[in-house]
Amino acid sequence: MISDKERKLREDICHVAKMMYAREFIGGPAGNISARLDEDRFLLTPSKPFKQLLRPEQLIIIDSTGKKVGPHTDANMDLTPTSEVPMHLAAYNTRPDVGAVLHGHLSYCVAMTAAGKTIRPHVLTEGMLFLGDIGVADYATPTTQELGDNVAKVVVDHDCVILPYHGVIVASTDLWAALAKMEVLEQTAQINCLVNQMGGEKPMPREHIAGMLALREKMGMNLPSDANLLEN
Ligand SMILES: [Zn+2]
């Protein structure tokens, strides 16, 4: 018998997977999703099935060391956790406030960093409101503990972390907050691409940026870091 909380999280992960697929954030074998069940247990997408077709009973539970724990159902007994477990645990093990982690291969985010460009949240009001500073992890081969270690160094004070030549990881309080952040992140990267193609950014005046930060404070939205917003 599973709890109402677990049942809802299983359903929400499947809904979020469909929405990430619709936005082309995931596809084929790419991308994975997790949510915190309690202090030491995390629901996670398995590695093989297409994420947009997942059924709630196929999701897997791991502990904070990455070990698969129950329940083993007919639907998930032959499935293994996503190979990007270290990346997800990096967020949960460094941030007790994190309730969900999304990983996707977002085209504009990857394009910007592959071109050696910085994604600036300053080009979009929602970017400043929802993203704060955007972190960039050092490159490491996907699925490795090294990638998990590199993510841990950055996700500790960033909700959004770019994985160069690969994708992004977004950590937030819950699945829907993380998805909202991921959507704003990709739109911000897309606008950055357009701005660069048009000859570069005409920076927003500093007082307007300060106004966005004041609005965010008024809305009670806390972000782990926005130190760079006013410095640039
Ligand atoms: Zn990936």
DSSP string, 141-207: -TTSHHHHHHHHHHHTT-SEEEETTTEEEEEESSHHHHHHHHHHHHHHHHHHHHHHHTT---PPPHH
Does residue 90 sit within a domain? Answer: yes
Distance CA 42, CA 85 (A): 10
Ligand 1 centroid–CA 29 distance in Å is 9
Ligand 1 centroid–CA 17 distance in Å is 14
Ligand 1 centroid–CA 186 distance in Å is 15
Does residue 115 sit within a domain? Answer: yes
Range of the domain at 118: 4-218
- Classify the phi-psi angles of 132: left when phi > 0, otherwise alpha if psi is within -120 to 50, otherwise beta: left
Tell me the CATH number at 181: 3.40.225.10
Does residue 223 sit within a domain? Answer: no
pLDDT value, residue 70: 72
Ligand 1 centroid–CA 167 distance in Å is 6
Does residue 224 sit within a domain? Answer: no
Ligand 1 centroid–CA 166 distance in Å is 6
Percent of the chain at pLDDT exceeding 70: 99
pLDDT digits (tens, 9 = 90+) for 61-95: 999 999 888 777 777 777 888 889 999 999 999 99
Does residue 113 sit within a domain? Answer: yes
Ligand 1 centroid–CA 4 distance in Å is 30
Using DSSP's 3-state secondary structure scheme, residue 117 falls into: coil
Q: What is the 3-state secondary structure (H, E, C) of 49-104?
A: CCHHHCCHHHCEEEECCCCEECCCCCCCCCCCECCCHHHHHHHHHHCCCCCEEEEE
Ligand 1 centroid–CA 23 distance in Å is 16
Does residue 231 sit within a domain? Answer: no
Judge if the upstream peptide bond of residue 71 is cis by omega within 30 degrees of 0.
yes
Ligand 1 centroid–CA 142 distance in Å is 6
Ligand 1 centroid–CA 163 distance in Å is 9
For residues 229 and 213, the answer to whether their CB atoms sit within 8 Å is: yes
Mean pLDDT, the chain, rounded, equals 92
pLDDT digits (tens, 9 = 90+) for 86-96: 999 999 999 99
Ligand 1 centroid–CA 31 distance in Å is 5
Percent of the chain at pLDDT exceeding 90: 72
Domain count, the chain: 1
- Residue spans of the chain under pLDDT 70: 227, 232
pLDDT value, residue 232: 60
Does residue 225 sit within a domain? Answer: no
For residue 37, the one-letter residue type is: L
pLDDT value, residue 30: 85
Does residue 226 sit within a domain? Answer: no
Distance CA 36, CA 79 (A): 19
What does the block give as tokens for 197? 């193609």
pLDDT value, residue 220: 84
Ligand 1 centroid–CA 169 distance in Å is 9
